[in-house]
Amino acid sequence: MRKLLILSLVALASSWPARADDAPLPLGELAKPGRVLMLRHAHAPGVGDPVNLVIGDCSTQRNLDAKGRVQARELGARLRAAGLTKARVLASQWCRALETARLLDLGAVEPLPELNSFFGRQNDRQRILGGLRAFLARLPADGPPVILVTHQVVVDAFTGASPPPGGGSIFKLNGTGAPEWLGTIPVEMRSGS
């Protein structure tokens, strides 16, 4: 049964993009004022987290593997090559999101609880999404680029699409908690699979 659940989740995640109009945007789009990249953390094997998860204790969580670390570094290099050399970078308090954000190497990383996962914690869903929408509404519509490293369930709540590890969506800030969704970023891995 567990194997069937895992296979179903893998199939769901591999169905991205979920929309016909979901063509990947050039990464240079992020260098424009008022843009936000909502990014799913890089590859971390498994699904969910152990029931004994403790924020700040990586031994109680799923973490990036070597593939995920390569994926995060390569995405950071691709973003820099596209002209994004510095951004405000915020991440979920989960270790895999914080590590992804740091490996992008685009700026100091700030933890933001409003980016935390609510997978298996549906009671937290509205609180997290409401807090994230309030945070987005406070960002200046003409401000510098912002990268939010979060989890599949959070990106999915905003886009209706399930991003692959290291995938995400670009939004245009508009002074509300519902920024304009512009599209996804292309996901590539040059070094290994």
Q: What is the CA radius of gyration of the chain?
A: 16
Averaged over 27-32, what is the pLDDT?
Answer: 86
Mean pLDDT value across the chain: 83
CB 151, CB 144: distance < 8 Å: no
Of the listed ranges 17-31, 36-50, 75-89, the one predicted with least confidence: 17-31
Chain segment 51-70, per-residue pLDDT in tens = 788 888 988 899 999 999 99
Chain segment 89-118, per-residue pLDDT in tens = 999 999 999 999 999 999 999 999 999 998
Chain segment 114-170, per-residue pLDDT in tens = 999 988 777 888 999 999 999 999 999 999 999 999 999 899 888 887 888 888 899
Ordered domains of the chain (ranges, CATH): 2-184 (3.40.50.1240)
Give Cα 174 to chain centroid, integer Å.
20
Provide the pLDDT for residue 15.
33
